[in-house]
Structure formats: C-alpha cells, structure tokens
Amino acid sequence: MHLAYPAVLAVLLFCVGLYGVLARRNAILVLMSVELMLNAVNLNLVAFDVWLRDTLHSGQALTLFTIAIAAAEIGIGLAIVLAVYRNRGTSAVDGLRDTAEHPDGDDDGDDGDDFDGVALDEPEPAPDKAAQQPQTSQQSQKAEATA
C-alpha cells in the first residue's frame, strides 16, 4: 500500500477538523473537531510507522499516548462545557469572553495593577455628574445575567 492514501485521508480529516474548530460556535462541536484533528495525527503516525518498518513501533506507541491525552482532554472539556451551560444556559463559545474574572472587579483589560501611570500621591479628579448617565435596562439585565 502506498503512503499517499492514508496521508491524503489524514489531510482531509485534519482540514475538516480545522474548519470545525474555526467555524463552529457550539463548544461540543469544537471538541469533536479537535478529536478529528487528533485522529488525523494518529493516522499519520501509524501510516509512517508501517511505511518505515520501525522495529520499535514508536508511531503506534505515540498513538496510544495521543489517545490517552485525547480522552483526558474530552473529560476536562466536557466538564467545562457543562459548567458553562449550567451558568449561562448555552454552550456557545462566543460569549465565553464575558465569563473571564478580572482582579478587583476591573473590566478594563489591563493586568490588574490599577496604577495606569498615575502617581500615588495625586488624588483622582472628581467625576463629572453631567457625563454620568443612568444604566439602561439592557445594561442592567446584562449585569444581572453575569452576576
């Protein structure tokens, strides 16, 4: 048997898995796509092991390790997906950025140092009351949903 047949099949499997990871929004489908990509790698490992006639069968041994790692990845991944589904009511990966916890409750995306180049002895200016607007009902609903 030629090496090209399993190699082409592995490339097709990997491409389908890559498309699934990049295009899907459901976390379960993303995990299934990662499994497709790992199976493509396993197919390549076994095919090259047979083609090279390795006496130690290192490709097959690496495949067993990859299967064990994939099983652990699925177990942890499904636990995370179930926790997200219980908290959010959906398993869409688009809204997972909102679940990130920031130190001290700041949501400005920095590293949590809260200094931002201001000297420690200078007081902060008082906020302008005219610039403050009450929260809209949509913002308050989003705040309640994330709490």
* pLDDT tens string 59-93: 999 999 999 999 999 999 999 999 988 988 888 88
What pLDDT was estimated at residue 94?
Answer: 81
| Torsion over CA: 97, 99, 102, 104 (sign) | positive
Does the pLDDT at position 129 exceed 60?
no
Pair of tokens at residue 125:
């200016």
Pair of tokens at residue 25:
């929004």
Among 69, 6, 74, CA closest to 40:
6
